[in-house]
Amino acid sequence: MINVSMSVSLISHVAASLLALSVVLFIYRRDITPIYGSAPTTYALNSVVLSASLVPAVLPYSRRNLLAAAFVASLAPLLTYWVAAWTARWDMPIVGPLVTHLGTIWPLTALLVSLVPQNSAVVRVLLGLGFCAGAIVLSGVWERVEWLWNLSATYPFTGLTLALINIWVVSYPKPTPAPKKKKVPPPKTRPYRKLGFFLALNGGYLFALRFLASPILPHPLPTPYHHPTFPLIVHSSVQSLTGLIVVGEALPPPTYRGGPDADMHSFRYMRADHSLLGGVWVGGKVATLDDVPPQVDSFGTPLGDSIYSTFVLHEAARLVNSTGRIPERAVIIGLGVGISPIGFGRHGIETTLVEIDPAVYEAATLYFGLPEHDQERLFLEDARQWAAKRRANEADPPFDIIVHDCFSGGGVPEHIFTIEFWEDLKASLHPQGVLVVNFAGSIVSDSSRMISQTLLKSFGHCRAFTDAQHTITEAEYETELLNLVFFCTPHDAPLTFRKARRADYLDSYLRRGILSTLPEREVRFDLLTGELDDRFIITDEHNLLGKLQDNLGHHHWQLMRQVLTDVFWETF
C-alpha cells in the first residue's frame, strides 16, 4: 500500500512539473522569438533544456528547491524580456540566444526537474531527461491552443510562483515532539507558523508583482502605444498563426522640417516576429510624381511609396510582351502589406488573395490601404491546399499573373517550392500567363540553384531580376543576400519585356526608378541554375530547401537589425 502511494505521489509530481515546464517553454519561446526570430531562438534551446536534466545528479530533492524555483519563476517574465533585449544588441545570433537561455530558462528548468523526489542519482537523471524531453514535445502542442497565444507571460509565471510558494508552506514539517519528561505547554505561536508563512510569502509576492510583470505589450493591443523615450508608435500588436504581427510607425524627429533626407523615420511597417513584411513612407516622406494626390489608409492617412522596392518589381509581369496577352486577373500568394495587389488593382487587374494569416490581411486593409476583398477573392489558408483544390475544380477561370511571395524570417515554407506544387499552380495559370516568384538569397547558392532549376523544369522559360540599388560584382555572388524575383511562363516563346511607360509608374518615384531600369537589373539565369542536374529538383520526397534556409535565418536576423535599430525590435 505504501509503494502504491509513493508511486502515485511520484507520478503526480512528474505530471504537474511536466505540465508546468511545457507551458513555461511555450511562453518563453513565444516571447523571445520577436526579438531573435525563429531560427536563432530554437537553434540551441532544446539542448539547453535537456542539459538541465543532469542537475538532479548533484542537486537532489529538497524543500529549499521549491523556494528557489519560486524565486526564479517570479523573475522570469522580467528577465526573459530584458536579457533577450540586452544580448540581442551584441549582434551575435548564436551566442546571444544561448546566453539568454542559460540565464533565464535553464535555471528554472533545472529547479523544476529537481523537484522529483528519488534517492538514486541515476534514476533522478533518467527521470529528468524524460521529463525535459516530454516538456519540449508538449510545448509544441500549446502552439495550437489559440487562447494561449495572447496570454501575458505574467499570468502563467504568477500561477507557477504561487503554486511553488504554497506547496512549500503546506509541506512545512511538523515540529518533532520533545521527549516526554513532564508536561510543558506548547508554544502559542506554533499553530500559526504556516499561516504566517502563507500570508507573508503570498502577500509579499503579490505586492512585488507590479514590479515583476512582463514589459511586453498586451496582445491584442487595446489602444496604440506611444514609446515614452523614442519617436515610435505601435498601432497594432497581435499573436496570430505566423507569429506576432506588429504594425508600428517611426515618427519624425522634432527637428524634421519635411522633405527627403537620409534618416530612417516617417515610415509605417508591419513585422511578423523578427521579419519585416513591408512598409510605406508616411508624413513628410510621402511624395508623388507631379504632386498627384497619394493613396490613403482606412483612416484617411496619406501613404507614400513602399520602403521595399522588390514588391514594385513584381509589377514587371505587366510588361511581358512575348505572350501576346493583356493581363486581366491576378492572384497574390503571400500578402505582406499589400503593395502588389494594390499596384495590380490600380492598373485595372482583378486581384485574388491567398494569405495564411488573417491578422496580416486585417492589418494590410486597416493601415496600408489594401481594398477589402470579398469571399470569392480572399482565401485565408495554406497556399498548397488552395492550389490543389483549385486544380481539382476545372471550372475556375485561369489567372494571367500569379505572384508567389512567401519568404519570411530568413526561411521559406519549403512545401510550396516543390515541383508538385508548381504543377498544381500551373494548372491555375493561363497558358500565356506569367508566374512571379520572390526569393531572398545569394545568386550562387544551393538554395537558388534548387529553386531556379525546379522552376525552369516546370515552366520552361524563366528570367530573374534583382531590386539591388547597386551593381552586383562577381565577388558578391556568393555572399550578398538579395531579393531575387523570378518571372516564368509555360508559353512557347521566351520571355521578353517591353519598356516601361509613364502610365506604368502610377505616379510613383519608386516605380519609375525600378521599372525604367529593368534591363540593368537582370541576373544571368545560368549563374542561378549552375549545371542542370535533376538532383537539384525540389520534390515532396526530396526537399532540402528548409534545412538550407535555416542557416540563412541567422544572417537574415543580422540584416533586419541593420534595417531597423534595436528599439523597433524591442517594442512589441
pLDDT per residue as tens digits for the range 389-433: 999 988 889 999 999 998 765 567 889 999 999 999 999 999 999
Do 393 and 504 lie in one domain? The reply is yes
pLDDT in tens, 309-354: 999 999 999 999 998 899 999 999 999 999 999 999 999 999 999 9
256, part of any domain: no
Residue that is last in its domain, among 212, 228, 258: 212
Distance of CA 159 to the CA centre of its chain: 27
Predicted local distance difference test score (pLDDT) of residue 8: 57
Mean pLDDT, all residues of the chain:
90
Dihedral sign, Cα of residue 542, residue 547, residue 552, residue 557: positive
**DSSP code at position 336:** T
Determine what percent of the chain is predicted with pLDDT higher than 70: 92
Q: What is the pTM of this model?
A: 0.90
Q: Mean pLDDT lowest for which of 164-178, 204-218, 434-448? A: 164-178
Do 505 and 391 lie in one domain? The reply is yes
pLDDT in tens, 195-239: 777 788 888 888 988 899 999 999 999 999 999 999 999 999 999
363, part of any domain: yes
Do 90 and 197 lie in one domain? The reply is yes
Cell of 456: 525552369
Distance of alpha carbon 262 from alpha carbon 6, whole angstroms: 70
252, part of any domain: no
Any idea what the CATH number is for the domain that residue 348 is in?
3.40.50.150
Section 145-172 average pLDDT: 88
pLDDT grade for 263, boundaries at 50, 70 and 90 = confident
Q: Mean pLDDT lowest for which of 60-74, 92-106, 222-236, 539-553? A: 539-553
Query: Going by DSSP bridges, is the β-strand pair 378-379/350-354 parallel, antiparallel, or unpaired?
Result: parallel
The number of CA neighbours under 13 Å toward the Cβ of 550 is 10
pLDDT grade for 470, boundaries at 50, 70 and 90 = confident
Section 288-302 average pLDDT: 96
Question: In this structure, are residues 31 and 81 in contact, taking their beta carbons and an 8 Å threshold?
Answer: yes
Do 13 and 162 lie in one domain? The reply is yes
31, part of any domain: yes
**DSSP code at position 319:** G
Predicted local distance difference test score (pLDDT) of residue 91: 94
305, part of any domain: no
Provide DSSP, 222-256: SS-EE-SSSSEEEEEEEEETTEEEEEEEEPPPTT-
Do 206 and 315 lie in one domain? The reply is no
Section 517-527 average pLDDT: 94
Distance of alpha carbon 310 from alpha carbon 278, whole angstroms: 10
Instruction: Give the CA angle between residues 207, 209, 215 to the nearest 5°.
Output: 150
- Per the structure, the complete domain to which residue 76 belongs is given by 2-174+187-212
Cell of 248: 508600428
The number of CA neighbours under 13 Å toward the Cβ of 109 is 32
226, part of any domain: no
Kindly tell me if the per-residue pLDDT of 192 is higher than 80: no
449, part of any domain: yes
Kindly state the helix (H) or strand (E) to which residue 332 belongs, with its residue range. strand 329-333
Kindly tell me if the per-residue pLDDT of 505 is higher than 70: yes
pLDDT grade for 252, boundaries at 50, 70 and 90 = very high
Kindly tell me if the per-residue pLDDT of 12 is higher than 90: no
Question: Which three-class secondary structure state does DSSP give residue 523?
Answer: strand
Strand ranges across the sheet with 461-466: 378-379, 350-354, 329-333, 399-404, 429-441, 482-489, 461-466, 522-523
Residue that is last in its domain, among 212, 229, 263: 212
Kindly state the helix (H) or strand (E) to which residue 434 belongs, with its residue range. strand 429-441
Number of domains in the chain: 2
22, part of any domain: yes
Do 131 and 19 lie in one domain? The reply is yes
The residues, ordered by sequence, that sit 6+ positions from 451 with a Cβ below 8 Å of its Cβ are 417, 437, 439, 441, 486, 538, 545
Kindly tell me if the per-residue pLDDT of 189 is higher than 70: no
